[in-house]
Amino acid sequence: MTDPTALPNFTPYDPAGTPNGAAQSQTPARDSVLAVLTGIGIDAQVDADGDLEYKIVDDDGVATTLFARVAEAQPEMEVPLALVRFFGQWQLQEPVSPDRNDRIARCNDLTLQLNLVKLSLVQESLVVSVEHVILPGSDLDVLVPLSINHILQGVGFFYQSWAPIEDVPAGEQ
C-alpha cells in the first residue's frame, strides 16, 4: 500500500519540453485562437477591447455573437501561461422567471452541474463563459470548438430548464 502522506513524484520541469511532445509555439495565444476559428470556417475580428469577436450561425440562420478574451503570458514567466475566456451574453426573455433570485439560483445550479461552463447574470442578461489556461502545446484545435459548443449548450440548458415539463419532448425528461 502506498503512503497517502507522501508527496507525488512529479517529473522535473523541462523548459524545452511541451505537453505531448507538441512543438512550442511563439505565436501569441490570441493569434492562435484566431487561427483556429478561421480554420473551422468562423470569421473573427479583433474588437475595440482587444477581444476576438465572431458569429456562430445556427441551422435556422440565426447568428449569435461570441467573444474570446485572451490574457497573454508574461515574458518573465518560467512557464508561459495564457488565459482565454470564451463568452457570450443573451437578453433574458420568456419563459425565464422575472424573479432575480430564481434566476441566480438557476445559474448557480447549472454552473455546478456543467463542466467548464459558468452561467451568471448581468442586469437583464445571461452571460455564459468557458475559461482555459493555455500552455505551450495546448491543443487549441480541440479546446476552441469544444468551448463554443459548451457555451451554446449551457444557454440551451438554461432556457430549457424554465420550460414547463409538458413542453419537453418525450424522451428528454
In a domain, 170, yes or no: no
Nearest to 68 by CA among 126, 155, 148: 148
In a domain, 8, yes or no: no
Based on C-alpha coordinates, what's the Rg of the chain? 20
In a domain, 12, yes or no: no
In a domain, 98, yes or no: yes
- DSSP assignment of 69-123, as one string? EEEPPPTT-SS--EEEEEEEEEE--TTS-S-HHHHHHHHHHHHHHSSSEEEEEET
- Judge contact between 56 and 151, C-beta under 8 A: no
In a domain, 172, yes or no: no
Residues 6+ apart with CB under 8 A from 100: 121
Which cell numbers in the block locate residue 87? Answer: 463568452
Number of domains in the chain: 1
Check which CATH number belongs to the domain holding 54 and give it.
3.30.1460.70
- Judge contact between 113 and 82, C-beta under 8 A: no
Q: How far apart are CA 111 and CA 152, in angstroms?
A: 14
In a domain, 100, yes or no: yes
Domain residues for the domain of 57 are: 20-164
Looking at the predicted structure, is the pLDDT value of residue 10 above 60? Answer: no
Q: How confident is the model at residue 11 (pLDDT cuts 50, 70, 90)?
A: very low
In a domain, 83, yes or no: yes
Please report, in angstroms and rounded to a whole number, the separation of the first and last CA atoms in the chain.
Answer: 45
In a domain, 113, yes or no: yes
118-170 pLDDT tens trace: 999 999 999 999 999 998 889 999 999 999 999 999 999 999 999 887 755 66
Q: Which whole-number Å values give the CA distances from 16 to 11, 138, 160, in the listed order?
A: 14, 15, 47
Looking at the predicted structure, is the pLDDT value of residue 5 above 50? Answer: no
- Looking at the whole model, is its pTM more than 0.85? no
Which cell numbers in the block locate residue 125? Answer: 442578461
